[in-house]
Structure 1
Amino acid sequence: MKSMIMGQYVRRDSFIHRMDPRAKLAGLFLFLLVLFLANRPAALIPAFLFAALVFLATKVPVRYLLKGLKFIAIMVILLFLFRMLMTREGTVLFELTWLTVYEEGVRDGAVFAGRLFLLLVLATVLTLTTTPIELTDALERLFKPLQRLGLPAHELALTMSIALRFIPTLFTEMEKIMKAQTARGASFSNGSLVRRIKALVPLLVPLIIQSFRRAEELAVAMEARGYTGSEGRTRFRRMVLRPSDAWVLLLVALTGVCIFALRG
């Protein structure tokens, strides 16, 4: 569980850290749209190069990202297998008595898995380079038009920011519960895959209870500090869009052009 780095912030003096958080969110959303242009694995090559360039620009040690790839890899592999096995038409690659794998299934699985991998990596980069306050302020600014519909932009932004930052906390709590139950004789690494999944079921109840406890502690702490929502709230730092932010968004758009050119 220590491999879960999404939701954590790493302080560095890098270009990505200094970017306007609104530009980071807009870039991530634009990158998500760009990924849907890819219809074959080769078309994702520009996106992989862009993601590698962005991560190197953060000045975060590569070993730190590699530590977090374990959790991401599990999700990516599961999506690849699911998509590959669900495709039941096209050219047969190989066939067993109980399994038939098609070329189109492998290709579609690789594309979907690649999209998920790139999205999770850049979402992780977003949290590694953006403080919770910056992320909340950026989301609030982007949700500002929703206030005309009567929706509370600040509360929505704060809820999303807290939920994102709670991800590593929940994994830490799960690790503590697993260690406690292992000390009482439980086993999470022995037996078949089905048995291991069943062994995780008893973790749910204490994890949910601990989550509610954490949420209550956070609510009490916010109330003790005088939190009253967006009413009367001031900001220490002003967000200013710079020309460099526009260049990054232009680079994302250029990545989309390259992906479109590589479509089959």
Structure 2
Amino acid sequence: MIRDITLGQYYQTDSVLHRLDCRVKLVGTLAFIISLFVVNNVWGYLLAALFLALCIRLSNVPFKFMVKGMKSIVFLMLFAVVFNLFLTPGTPAVTIWKLKITWEGIEMASKMAVRLVMLIIGSSLMTLTTTPNHLTDGLESLLNPLKKLKVPVHEVSMMMSIALRFIPILLEETDKIMKAQIARGADFENGSLIQRAKAMVPLLVPLFIAAFRRANDLAMAMEARCYRGGEGRTKMKPLVYQKQDYMGYGVLVAYLVAAVLIGRVLL
């Protein structure tokens, strides 16, 4: 399961989405996430699913590779679905002892599950088609107006990009440590919840040590290269919008308008 998480990974290939400006993909991801919470009917979710399917097709990233990342949120999805099923008031559909499942709860749980699935796949699509360096440049460019408020935009963008880049690295480190502990007789699968929590201690301690070691190595490498923040820094390849990027923004605007009209107006 550790290797099944795709968020933060970059998939090397050539596609329409890979060639798009990183700012278009960042804005597009934010717009898609917003649209998932704007739509409120079947037709709206169908439109979002079709838009996501089109983006996946244009990315040339295998769909099976993206679906692998869904295994990591199964518990979160079940948690959200169960809470919505039993805690949403309304007309009872099924009664289990003192617990009631309402029709409104079933509807809310279904919407929540669909939103989570498309949200994770949509977010993964951005990182799969954008390198960490481009993510940093894109975030810095989009947050550039905040410099007038004395916000350290470059440093914030750098931290967010490094944190995102460390996800697959730490997952790989976790996989190595887990295999080493299993070879020494550790059991992470069997036993009660408390026993499983105790079994995680031999995994978490070396993981934290490895994370701090990697962070220290990165800091020393940046300092050795005379990194001093964003003040006065220039870029070898500055971000410049192309014709296809403006077309991408046009598609996003059309999608958002359609999502509002179909998902809210045409109830």
Same fold (TM over 0.5): yes
Partner of 1:45: 46
Counterparts in 2 of 1:136-151, with a 5 A limit?
Answer: 136-151=136-151
Partner of 1:62: 63
Does the residue aligned with 1:155 lie in a helix, a strand or coil? helix
- Deviation of 1:157 (Å): 0.5
Partner of 1:217: 217
Partner of 2:132: 132
Counterparts in 2 of 1:9-24, with a 5 A limit?
Answer: 9-24=10-25
- Deviation of 1:31 (Å): 1.6
Q: Is the 8 A contact 2:39 2:259 kept in 1?
A: no
Structure 1 length-normalised TM: 0.90
Structure 2: where are the runs of 5+ without partners? none
Q: Distance in 2 between matches of 1:199 and 1:9?
A: 32
Partner of 1:80: 81
- Deviation of 1:225 (Å): 2.0
Q: Is the 8 A contact 1:2 1:172 kept in 2?
A: yes
- Deviation of 1:194 (Å): 5.6
Letter in 1 for 2:235: R
Judged with a 3 Å threshold, the aligned counterparts in structure 2 of structure 1 residues 257 and 42 are, in CA distance, closer, same or farther, namely: closer
Structure 1: where are the runs of 5+ without partners? none
Q: Distance in 2 between matches of 1:84 and 1:202?
A: 36
Structure 2 length-normalised TM: 0.89
Judged with a 3 Å threshold, the aligned counterparts in structure 2 of structure 1 residues 208 and 51 are, in CA distance, closer, same or farther, namely: same
Partner of 1:179: 179
Q: Is the 8 A contact 2:85 2:109 kept in 1?
A: yes
Q: Distance in 2 between matches of 1:171 and 1:75?
A: 18
RMSD: 2.1
User: Which range moves more in the overlay, 190-199 or 136-145?
Assistant: 190-199
- Deviation of 1:44 (Å): 1.5
Aligned residues: 262
Counterparts in 2 of 1:1-264, with a 5 A limit?
Answer: 1-40=2-41, 43-87=44-88, 89-192=89-192, 195-241=195-241, 242=243, 243-253=246-256, 254-261=258-265, 263=267
Deviations 1:157-201 (A, max 9, x none): 011111111112222222222212212222112234564345335
- Deviation of 1:251 (Å): 3.9
Does the residue aligned with 1:151 lie in a helix, a strand or coil? coil
Letter in 2 for 1:29: L
Q: Distance in 2 between matches of 1:248 and 1:42?
A: 19
Deviations 1:15-65 (A, max 9, x none): 111111111111111222211212345531211111111111101122211
Judged with a 3 Å threshold, the aligned counterparts in structure 2 of structure 1 residues 193 and 86 are, in CA distance, closer, same or farther, namely: farther
Q: Distance in 1 between matches of 2:10 and 2:192?
A: 37
